[in-house]
Structure 1
Amino acid sequence: MYDKSPIVLITDDSQTLRKILRKALLEVCPGATVFEAGDGKEALRALREHEVDIVFLDVNMPEMSGLDVLELLRSKGSNVFVTLMSTEADQAVMKAGSELGSYDFLKKPFTTEQIATILSSHESLSTRKNVLIVDDSPTIRRIIYKVLSNCRFDMLVSEVEGGLEALELMHGTRPDIVFLDYNMPGLDGIQAAQRLRAENPGIKMVMISSQDLSEHIDACRRSGIFALLKKPFFANEVDFVLHRLYGLNMPQSLEQTPNVTLLND
């Protein structure tokens, strides 16, 4: 059951589809507020008038397609959570939607379970997570910070230059996720991970390195590392790791496994 009460906008030129989707939404989340729009212009008007959390957006509508609506929203700086819908799983449309920042794609007809998955994903992605970057290079920390800022998850990012500084931080604000460099002076990544885990057994850790860590996989796994990310990595790879880390279903754009090694999945 979805814990929050989201405000949802259903945009589809089929009244029957809107009725089916409304019913499914309210089965999953009885407290949800649901608005409807029959075309793109109505959707844009509804989004101006209401603070909407989630948009279900039909791709094929008269005058203004779902992709047109999505492109206009992004051009105006809107980051509203959008799932596209269509009777055809057109790869070009799915790719275009992903590039415009849609979360996922639903092929009609869909199930109540699929709607529940979308709502659960929105809840997890929009719940802010405290993230710590541990890397001795200021340049690399800036690059990683920029990568994280382009991810789908809502993250409050802090950074330190080494394992000892990370341990000191643990006595105050405890991060939910740590991106930990393997090669650092003082405590290396494995040593830092072991001590961070001893301090907080539930901490989630991702090891990052520019080198091949295949010989150190067992040590990383024993230290509680969830995944290995090879530098340079990108926002979609971080999104992939975090979806798996939080047990979320993969949206269409993340179905192909990127350059990630999962250790404790």
Structure 2
Amino acid sequence: MIRILVADASSIARDVVNDGINVHRSKRYIEVDIVNNGLAALEVLKQKQIDLAFIDVNLPGLSGPEVVASIRGTKSDKCLVVAMSNSLDEQAEVSLRRNSAYHFLKKPFHQDDVSNLVATQIKMGTACPILIVDDSATMRKMTCKILEGSRFSFDISEADGAQSAIKAMRSGKFKLVLTDFHMPGADGLELAGSIRDLSSKVGVYMMSTNETSYLQRSAAFVGISGFLQKPFTPEDIDSVMHRFLQIDAPKFGKSRGMFSFDEPEMKAS
């Protein structure tokens, strides 16, 4: 089940959002709360675990940014927040960004814009099978913790080296691999080449503490999707997933330059 909040004083805007949500009702059970002011929106967010919230910036009672700032610590503190307005001033944008809003829809928008965001939320909530490969148990544990902080959901497995990773990959289960570059025996590049022999669709991202530009040619040759420079964050994982799943980048997304070359991303199967 997906729980969605629509908070807007305009009945026209509420109808457009609801039409976009309805596109997905044949495949998912979706519970929708619709309110027309900020106080009512915050009350819903406190009482229920909302997954996706469409919140007008200029709500009466409490403004949209004020509502978003009050979400932390409620049942809905991890919900995907989409702000809506005819325009977005600097103060509102700073507040929304600071309080982890996800995206902004400029009015007037189309129901397809809403439908795409609901589809994004569904993708985020669908656990992606991922394999973490690192000879250090401590680093694997740290990587798991970072993945758990991402907006996306993961079904996480671990391998302590290339040999155990290849054995795991033969199951055909995994869509993503995060592998360390420096490992005893076969390194990350060799592992990536072996993975490519098994599948051309698996996303392979290499983790390294070192500058990676010298690996560009080898990485492109074996089909590595990109690099994650250590230390990385849950926001960096979000950026990887947006690229891998070919989801448009959000207005308030946080990312840094982690890719050392511009190879086209592979579409997840």
TM-score normalised to the size of structure 2?
Answer: 0.85
Deviates more, 1:165-174 or 1:58-67: 165-174
1:16 maps to what in 2?
Answer: 12
For 1:88-116, what per-residue CA distance to the aligned partner results, in whole angstroms no more than 9, with x for missing partners? 22344334323323221112222233223
Extract unaligned runs of 5+ from structure 1: none
For 1:207-230, what per-residue CA distance to the aligned partner results, in whole angstroms no more than 9, with x for missing partners? 111112222212212222111121
Judged with a 3 Å threshold, the aligned counterparts in structure 2 of structure 1 residues 48 and 143 are, in CA distance, closer, same or farther, namely closer
Deviates more, 1:177-186 or 1:47-56: 47-56
Are 2:24 and 1:29 equivalent residues in the alignment? yes
- After TM superposition, the structure 1 = structure 2 runs for residues 207-226 of structure 1, keeping only pairs within 5 Å, are 207-226=206-225
1:64 maps to what in 2?
Answer: 62
RMSD of aligned Cα (Å): 2.5
Report the alpha carbon displacement of residue 71 of structure 1 after superposing the two structures with TM: 3.0
Report the alpha carbon displacement of residue 161 of structure 1 after superposing the two structures with TM: 2.0
1:170 maps to what in 2?
Answer: 169
Report the alpha carbon displacement of residue 156 of structure 1 after superposing the two structures with TM: 2.4
CA–CA separation in structure 2 for the residues paired with 1:13 and 1:88: 16
CA–CA separation in structure 2 for the residues paired with 1:76 and 1:213: 41
Contact 1:177 1:204 in 2 (8 A): yes
Selected match of 2:74 from 73, 76, 83: 76
Report the alpha carbon displacement of residue 247 of structure 1 after superposing the two structures with TM: 0.7
Extract unaligned runs of 5+ from structure 2: none
Deviates more, 1:183-192 or 1:47-56: 47-56
Report the alpha carbon displacement of residue 84 of structure 1 after superposing the two structures with TM: 1.2
TM-score normalised to the size of structure 1?
Answer: 0.86
Contact 2:177 2:205 in 1 (8 A): yes
CA–CA separation in structure 2 for the residues paired with 1:47 and 1:255: 24
Contact 2:37 2:60 in 1 (8 A): yes
Report the alpha carbon displacement of residue 255 of structure 1 after superposing the two structures with TM: 7.6
Contact 1:131 1:178 in 2 (8 A): yes
Report the alpha carbon displacement of residue 249 of structure 1 after superposing the two structures with TM: 0.4
CA–CA separation in structure 2 for the residues paired with 1:213 and 1:258: 12
Contact 1:225 1:264 in 2 (8 A): no
- After TM superposition, the structure 1 = structure 2 runs for residues 89-128 of structure 1, keeping only pairs within 5 Å, are 89-128=88-127
Contact 2:209 2:231 in 1 (8 A): yes
Report how many residues are paired.
260
CA–CA separation in structure 2 for the residues paired with 1:239 and 1:256: 8
1:259 maps to what in 2?
Answer: 258
Selected match of 1:55 from 53, 63, 70: 53
